Amino acid sequence: MLIICIAAVECFIIFDSMNHFKSIYKIAIKVTKVLSSSKISDHWKELVIPSYALALMKKSLQILFILFLVICILLVPELFVEGFVNYILSFSGVLESFAFALIYIKIKKAIFSE
């Protein structure tokens, strides 16, 4: 279980998933500003909104890919240990995974921050 949690955390770190979420947030703010501004003409809005939509779609697909990889990492042990998916989706499995992930992140920060 510990190895699976570490692999999932590393997948999030390697693919820089937090920056993808931040980018989506920034693009959404830009879209909101453009749409709510009365100073920007409708013609300009028609030109700019599709580019924002494309950027949102790209970032969303990247996040979907990362989530797919994490799900695959979590499903691989099911081939070797029957009932692993049921356990990891249970309340105690989720808590244990979360605890392992947090401990791993803290240890990694402590080691590599020096």
d(C-alpha 79, C-alpha 89), whole Å = 16
Domain ranges of the chain: 2-112
C-alpha to C-alpha distances, 93 to 27, 60, 88, 99, nearest whole angstrom: 35, 28, 4, 10
57-100 pLDDT, tens digit each: 999 999 999 999 999 998 899 899 899 989 989 999 999 999 99
pTM value? 0.80
